Amino acid sequence: MLSRCGFGSLLFTAAMLLSLTGAQAHDESKYPDWNGQWRRPPGVNNQWEPTKPRGQEGAPLTPEFQAIFEANLKDQAEGGQGTDPTYICIPDGMPRAMNVIFPMEMIILPSTTYIHIEYLQMFRRIYTDGRPFPEDTDTAFMGYSIGKWVDTDGDGRFDQLQVETRFLKSPRAFDSSGIPLHPDGKTIVHERFYQDRDKPDVLHDEVTTIDNALTRPWTVTKHYNRVRNPIWVEAICSENNDHIKLGKDTYMRSADGLLMPAKKGQRPPDLKYFNAQDTRK
Amino acid sequence: MLFRIRRGSLVNAAAIAAAMLMAVAGARAFDESKYPDLKGQWDRTAQPRWADAKSAPLTPEYRAIFEENLKDQAAGGQGTDPTFTCVAPGMPRVMNMYAPFEIVVTPRTTHMLMDHIHDSRRIFTDGRDWPKEMQPNFNGYSIGKWIDEDGDGRYDVLVVETRSLRGPRSYDSTGLPFHADNETVINERIYLDKADKNTLYDEITVNDHALTRPWTMVKKYVRKPNKQPVWQEAVCAENNPHVVIADEPYMLSADGVLMPAKKDQAAPDLKYFPQSRK
């Protein structure tokens, strides 16, 4: 009798221990191993469509936004910033952040996947706890992202993270060429993150952007290479930013720290708030 | 005997199976039950000030620098507070917690996620040693160790040391300075209140050559009750009214025009413009 009790107790204890482990442990084996540091591949710069040269990426812009884009290119050629808003160190926002100018880390927990990009400390929370989108929330450059882990090959492990991002704030551009997004803030971004089947140190992000500046959803696939034992280098945009925005005008900072024109023939800034006798030439 | 053997085999098999499953789970699972529950949104309980500046054990040299900074701030300048241009506050100032923050604990790293300027921290808990060469950062390089102080089988304190800092940094917006040599070393003990699991403490000891002795401060944070907290994006550079031209701080007016930060401040030198306008 005692033996039977002992046997039963042991099984019960083992079952309890297992269920406890299951309940309180984050089973990392169910998720892909995306630890480490992810970098854009060599030769890919600040361009949205990585297979095409920057500025010639074939964005399916509406005629109205194509005209805005071309005016932007002209302004950039003259020394301006066009429709690229990030020169004053505001975040790239989504989807541009996925250009991953500086390295990226992905932290996977059951309820949230965190994406941390060093540049401007751009940071995404992708909620995977089954919540719906809120009816209303503040807009943000990085938006509000809801994700779902999918086991596409049925092997019992998740291999794909599907994400939808809404509630995006303006101004944003796809990249430094200034390809514009509509300022109505109605962009929706769909993503599929997945590891390369043959190369575990390669990650793909298939990004589809739906935006009223586009004639159709625009899909590009980004690729990232893993560094296993990374060094994280701080990138502080504001620290040595050569661009100065005064009102609607953009100027440059000279090597000696003084204001200088960004464009040929640019007029100096208005100094109406300074005493006349203090105004230097 | 037969029964005993069979029963023994069953027991052994069950025990072995359980042990194997546990081992597999242990190897592949992050056992959250070993760590304190730090999930949720944490917020500061006081103004983002380090301390009463009078209590700061500054060396005479740095006391004089601090006093000079106060005079400059009173005149409209920024003194020795470097963050007005949206550079990172750095350690330990980020622990003033300028915006609600999240702590993400993984076995390898504890992440402190703070949406302010560039405040987020990585605290490596993977047993690594200090690298031979470290690139200085505003937040430094942090190595942590989880400790089970009360021996109950669960970690209750995260002990952290931070080195390899860079400047300029100050403790808060009063401009309380750090030594320009950036040899600051910061030790922290981060733990939950034993009686109130929604209160978190960070006991921070600063070793710095601008101080006459190590200076310890305890920061207190409270957990917000919302299980799905709202995280607001903070973009310092978006509407920053401060402009620096040739190391001189100026302000932007509401209409985006350059204006003096100090009384009778001279206008910036416009020598690179062929003509100036009033």
Contact by Cβ (8 Å): B268, B245: yes
Q: Are both A175 and A140 inside the same structural domain?
A: yes
Residue B122 lies in a domain: yes
Which chain A residues are closer than 8 Å to B40 by Cβ?
none
Q: Is residue B15 part of a domain?
A: no
Do A218 and A254 lie in a common domain? no
Same domain, yes or no: B169 and B268: no
Would strands B29-31 and B42-44 be described as parallel, antiparallel, or unpaired?
A: unpaired
Nearest by CB: B120 against A90, A123, A269: A123
- Report residue B116's pLDDT band, with 50, 70 and 90 as the boundaries: confident
Unique residue bearing structure tokens 């413009």: B273
Coil, strand, or helix at residue A74? Answer: helix
Q: Is the pLDDT score of A224 beyond 90?
A: yes
d(CA A2, CA A22): 30
Does residue B19 lie in a domain region? no
**Residues A48 and A144 both lie in one domain:** yes
A35 chain-B contacts, CB cut-off 8 A: 108
- Most B CBs within 10 A among A11, A133, A135, A236, hence the mutation to make, goes to A236
Does residue A4 fall inside a structural domain? Answer: no
pLDDT (average), residues B13-41: 66
List, for residues B47-82, the tens digit of each pLDDT value: 999 999 889 999 999 999 999 999 999 999 999 999
CB contact under 8 A, B118 and A26: no
Do A68 and A124 share a domain, yes or no? Answer: yes
Residue B65 within a domain? yes
Instruction: Tell me the C-alpha distance between A215 and A206, whole Å.
Output: 19
Residues 6 or more apart from B40 whose CB is under 8 A from it?
Answer: B102, B223, B224, B226, B227, B229
Do B168 and B65 belong together in one domain? yes
CA dist list (Å): B248 to A42, A236, B69, B239, B245: 39, 20, 14, 19, 5
Which of A141-145, A271-275, B212-216 is predicted least confidently?
Answer: A271-275
Residue A210 falls inside a structural domain: yes
Which residues does chain A have within 8 Å of residue B17's beta carbon, measured at their own beta carbons?
14
Are B194 and B261 members of one domain?
no
Say yes or no: A78 and A175 in one domain. Answer: yes
Task: Let me know whether A151 and A257 are in one domain.
Answer: no
Q: Is A257–B247 a contact, with Cβ atoms under 8 angstroms apart?
A: yes
For position A276, what pLDDT does the model report?
65
Same domain, B248 and B219: no
Based on the fold, state whether residues A250 and A191 are members of the same structural domain.
no
Band of pLDDT at residue B224, cut at 50, 70 and 90: very high
What is the spatial distance between Cα B166 and Cα B163, in angstroms, rounded to a whole number? 9
Nearest-CA distance B140 → chain A (Å): 9
A130 → chain B, closest CA residue: B228
Predicted local confidence at residue A12, as pLDDT: 46
Same domain for B77 and B201?
Answer: yes
pLDDT tens figures, B235-265 = 888 888 999 999 889 999 998 999 999 999 9
Query: Span B103-112, mean pLDDT?
Result: 96
Clarify whether residues B177 and B72 are in a common domain: yes
Report which secondary-structure segment, H or E, holds A79. none
Say whether both B63 and B141 belong to one domain: yes
Query: Tell me: the pLDDT tens digits for A123-146?
Result: 999 999 999 999 999 999 999 999
Residue A120 pLDDT level (bands cut at 50, 70, 90): confident
- Asked if B247 and B192 sit in the same domain, the reply is no
Q: What is the pLDDT of residue B29?
A: 72
Amino acid making up residue B116? H
The pLDDT of residue B278 is above 70: no
Pairwise pLDDT comparison (B24 vs B98), residue with the higher score:
B98
Q: What is the mean pLDDT of residues A95-105?
A: 96
pLDDT band at B23 (very low <50, low <70, confident <90, very high): very low
Q: For chain B, what percent of residues have pLDDT higher than 90?
A: 75
A270 with A157, same domain? no
Whether residue B133 sits in one domain with residue B182: yes
Q: Can you tell me whether residue A77 is helix, strand or coil?
A: helix
- Whether B268 is in a domain gets the answer yes
Answer yes or no: is A16 within a domain: no
Locus of tokens 């509406």: A62
Q: What is the DSSP letter of A280?
A: -
Cβ contact A107:B106 at 8 Å: yes
Give yes or no: residues B247 and B188 share one domain: no
Residue among B276, B246, B242 at smallest CA distance from B261: B242
DSSP state string for A229-263: S-------GGGG--EEEETTEEEEE-TTS-EEESS
Closest-approach residue (CA) in chain A for B111: A107
Indicate if B185 and B260 belong to the same structural domain. no
The mean pLDDT of A199-206, rounded to a whole number, is: 98
> Taking the alpha carbons of B108, B112, B118, B123 in that order, is the dihedral positive or negative?
negative
Does the residue A124 lie in any domain? yes
| Three-state DSSP string of A6-54 | HHHHHHHHHHHHHHHHHHHEEEHHHCCCCCCEEECCCCCCCCCCCCCCC
- Minimum distance, in Å, between the CA of residue A187 and any CA atom of chain B: 18
Yes or no, beta carbons of A268 and B270 under 8 Å apart: yes
Regarding whether A186 and A160 lie in a shared domain, the answer is yes
Residues B16-23 have a mean pLDDT of: 46
> At residue B12, does pLDDT exceed 90?
no
What's residue A277's pLDDT? 53
**Hey, are the CB atoms on B33 and A237 less than 8 Å from each other?**
no
Mapped onto helix, strand or coil, the DSSP state of residue A96 is helix
> Same domain for A61 and A194?
yes
Amino acid found at A185: G
Q: Is A234's CB within 8 Å of B113's CB? A: no
Average pLDDT over residues A237-247: 88
pLDDT for res A29: 87
Q: Are A194 and A204 in contact (CB under 8 A)?
A: yes
Is residue B265 in some structural domain?
A: yes
Are A146 and A248 within one domain?
no
Residue B190 lies in a domain: yes
- Residue B250 belongs to domain spanning: 241-278
Where does the pLDDT of residue A269 fall: very low under 50, low under 70, confident under 90, or very high at 90 and above? very high
Which residue from B minimizes the CA distance to A127? B228
Q: Does A274 fall in a domain? A: yes
Query: How many domains, chain B?
Result: 2
What pLDDT is attached to residue A5? 44
Looking at this protein, which amino acid is placed at residue B88? A
Q: State the best of B230, B238, B244, B247 to mutate against chain A, taking most chain A CBs within 10 Å.
A: B238
CA B234 vs CA A93, A133, A195, B101: distances in Å: 12, 21, 32, 12
Which of A127, A34, A118 is closest to B122 using CA atoms? A118
Backbone torsions φ then ψ of A23, nearest 5 degrees: -75, -35
The pair of three-digit structure tokens given for residue B18, joined into one six-digit string: 């359980």
Sheet containing A259-261: which strands, arranged edge to edge? A243-246, A249-253, A259-261
- On whether residue B9 sits in a domain, the answer given is no
Q: Per-residue pLDDT for A13 more than 60?
A: no
DSSP string, chain B: -HHHHHHHHHHHHHHHHHHHHHHHHHHHEEEGGGS----S-EEESS-S--S-GGG--B-HHHHHHHHHHHHHHHTT--TT-GGGGS----TTGGGG-SS-EEEEE-SSEEEEEETTTT--EEEE-S-PPPPSS---BSS-EEEEEEE-TT-SSS--EEEEEEE-B-SS-BSSTT-PBPPTT---EEEEEEEE-SS-TTEEEEEEEEE-TTBSS-EEEEEEEEE-S-SS-------GGGG--EEEETTEEEEE-TTS-EEESSTTPPPPP-TTSSS---
Confidence of residue B169 (pLDDT cuts 50, 70, 90): very high
Q: Is residue A50 part of a domain?
A: yes
- Compute the average pLDDT of residues A71-79: 95
Would the pLDDT of B231 be above 80? yes
Beta strand ranges found along A28-176 (DSSP E): 37-39, 104-108, 112-117, 122-127, 144-150, 160-166
Would you state the pLDDT for residue A236?
87
Rounded to an integer, the average pLDDT of B131-136 is 92
ipTM, two decimals, is 0.86
Range of the domain at A104: 37-237
A198 and A251 part of one domain: no
Chain B: closest CA distance from residue A190 (Å): 21
Residues B100 and B183 in one domain: yes
Is A112 among the domain residues? Answer: yes
pLDDT at B26 over 60: no
Tokens read off for B172: 């808060």
